[in-house]
């Protein structure tokens, strides 16, 4: 299997809290392949990163790679984490979080995963709405528009409403919104409202301003957390490099 294909699979694995690819965030240090066996080395921003977050990402890597028929075994190595050994061995063996941390599993991992999926959905919804409004689509159009009106072609997407077409916006914005919407099991039929809350209810024109204010608060927190994680990881990488140079003297 080509190295590029491995990285493409890893791109799909997200930090559950930040809703960003662990590849883009710089968490993947190395990927090594020998036949049908793949070894992935991960390093998170801090030594004390929550074990449930670390597990979700590490297990996400294992699951994503095992989707490929060319891969039979995945070894996960989590570096510089207080639970490195437990997580590395446990995830590589396919064990559940409850098996690895029976005293810490106060919340079902699937419930935690869904909570972060919803948080990411809200972020993607806001990005879509902002992009369409910047392209000229008024709130009245966004509130009444159906999913079929959001169309993509190549790297661009448009909102087509009767005789008007708003756009282009980046197709990736629309694609990410639709992908997370489908992942949450929200209606995907052509006649479904374009704007939905996580519970499946439509966002009306009068409700849209208040809904956007709430969404912005969520996204501001997400972006601040992302920037902090990136800064912490960069600082940690610099420290790691300096330590290695000192050890080699």
Q: Are 88 and 57 in contact (CB under 8 A)?
A: no
∠ Cα 241 244 248 (to 5°) = 140
Q: Count CB atoms within 10 A of the CB of residue 29.
A: 15
DSSP string, 181-244: HHHTT---STTSBSSB-TTS-B--TTTHHHHHHHHHHHHHHHHHHHHHHHHHHHHHHHHHHHHH
Residues 99 and 14 in one domain: yes
Q: Is residue 221 part of a domain?
A: no
We report the CATH number of the domain holding residue 66 as: 3.30.300.130
Whole-number pLDDT of residue 49:
85
Number of domains the chain contains: 2
Rg for the chain, CA atoms, rounded: 21
Q: Is residue 71 part of a domain?
A: yes
Q: Is residue 17 part of a domain?
A: yes
**The pair of three-digit structure tokens given for residue 107, joined into one six-digit string:** 């919340």
Residues 119 and 93 in one domain: no
In order along its 249 residues, the chain shows pLDDT tens digits of 788 999 999 999 998 888 889 998 889 999 999 999 999 999 998 888 888 889 999 999 999 999 999 999 999 999 999 999 999 999 999 999 889 988 775 567 788 888 889 988 998 999 999 999 999 999 999 999 999 999 999 999 999 988 899 999 999 999 999 999 999 999 999 999 999 999 999 999 999 999 988 888 776 666 666 666 667 667 766 654 544 344 334
Residues 198 and 133 in one domain: yes
In degrees rounded to 5, what are phi and psi of residue 223?
-70, -35
In degrees rounded to 5, what are phi and psi of residue 41?
-105, 125
Q: Are 37 and 107 in contact (CB under 8 A)?
A: no
Residues 132 and 188 in one domain: yes
Q: Is residue 235 part of a domain?
A: no
Q: How far apart are CA 195 and CA 144, in angstroms?
A: 9
Residues 73 and 144 in one domain: no
Closest CA to 95 of 86, 104, 103: 86
Whole-number pLDDT of residue 11:
95
In degrees rounded to 5, what are phi and psi of residue 116?
-75, -30
Residues 14 and 44 in one domain: yes
- Please give the residue range of the domain that contains residue 195: 110-213
> Strands 37-43 and 73-79, how do they pair?
parallel
Question: What pTM, to 2 d.p., does this model score?
Answer: 0.79
Q: Which residues face 193 on adjacent strands?
A: 146
Residues 194 and 173 in one domain: yes
Q: Is residue 19 part of a domain?
A: yes
Residues 82 and 140 in one domain: no
Whole-number pLDDT of residue 246:
43
């Amino acid at each position: 299997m080509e190295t590029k294909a491995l990285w493409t699979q890893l791109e799909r694995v997200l930090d559950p809290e930040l809703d960003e690819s662990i590849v883009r965030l710089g968490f993947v240090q190395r990927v090594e392949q020998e036949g049908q066996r793949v070894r992935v080395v991960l390093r998170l921003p801090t030594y004390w990163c929550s074990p449930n977050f670390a597990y979700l990402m590490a297990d996400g890597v294992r699951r994503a790679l095992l989707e490929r028929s060319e891969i039979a075994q995945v070894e996960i190595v989590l570096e510089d984490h207080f639970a490195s050994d437990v997580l590395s061995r446990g995830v590589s063996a396919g064990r559940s979080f409850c098996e690895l941390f029976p005293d810490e599993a106060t919340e079902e991992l699937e419930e935690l995963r869904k909570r972060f999926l919803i948080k990411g959905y809200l972020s993607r919804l806001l990005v879509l709405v902002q992009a369409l409004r910047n392209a000229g689509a008024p709130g009245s159009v966004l509130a009444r528009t159906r999913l079929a009106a959001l169309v993509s072609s190549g790297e661009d997407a448009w909102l087509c409403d009767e005789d008007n077409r708003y756009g282009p916006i980046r197709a990736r914005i629309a694609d990410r919104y639709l992908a997370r919407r489908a992942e949450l099991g929200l209606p995907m039929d052509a006649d479904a409202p374009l704007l939905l809350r996580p519970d499946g209810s439509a966002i009306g024109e009068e409700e849209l301003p208040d809904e956007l204010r709430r969404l912005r608060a969520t996204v501001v927190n997400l972006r601040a957390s992302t920037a902090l994680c990136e800064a912490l990881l960069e600082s940690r990488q610099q420290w790691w490099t300096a330590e290695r140079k000192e050890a080699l003297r």
